[in-house]
Amino acid sequence: MDVFVGNPPPSFTRETLRQFFIRTIAKPSSKLFFWKPQSKHQVQVKQFVKQVSGKPRRYFIVHVETSNLALLAIKRLNFKVVDGRRLIVREYHSRGYMNERRVINWREQPWSKRERRTSERRTVQQGKGREL
């Protein structure tokens, strides 16, 4: 499962974030005396830089092998303050190409809700239209 990590501090690199995730996942929820940390191969990190209003915005996509560990990391890390910045941690959903905010084939899907508009907006009512 992929996890989105936004608003990282400038000191975060891919390796520090990977170690941060491993330590977060490895924390026991109960008192276990023989707790072994998770394998290093369960967490992979990709870093992205996007230009927004002329400023670079960094974010990370972290791949965790199991969804249970990913949900545990989201629960423990979301809104956690690190180096004076509040992390945004949530499940990552990829967007379709050239259709950023909608799902693929959204025009072909039926509309399940009642239409809000009951008539055409561009019709000119009798006496209220502009005369040329």
Over the stretch 62-94, which tens digit does the pLDDT of each residue have? Answer: 999 888 889 999 999 999 999 999 999 999 987
pTM: 0.64
Average pLDDT over residues 92-106: 64
How far apart are alpha carbons 16 and 2 in whole angstroms? 18
Q: Tell me which DSSP letter residue 114 carries.
A: P
What residue segments make up the domains of the chain, in order of their start? Answer: 2-28+37-91
Helix (H, G, I), strand (E, B) or coil at 18: helix
Average pLDDT over residues 19-30: 75
Q: Do residues 9 and 84 lie in contact, with contact meaning Cβ atoms separated by under 8 Å? A: yes
How far apart are alpha carbons 97 and 38 in whole angstroms? 35
pLDDT mean across residues, the chain: 78
Comparing 1-10, 37-46, 95-104, the range with the smallest average pLDDT is: 95-104
CATH code for 2-28+37-91?
A: 3.30.70.330
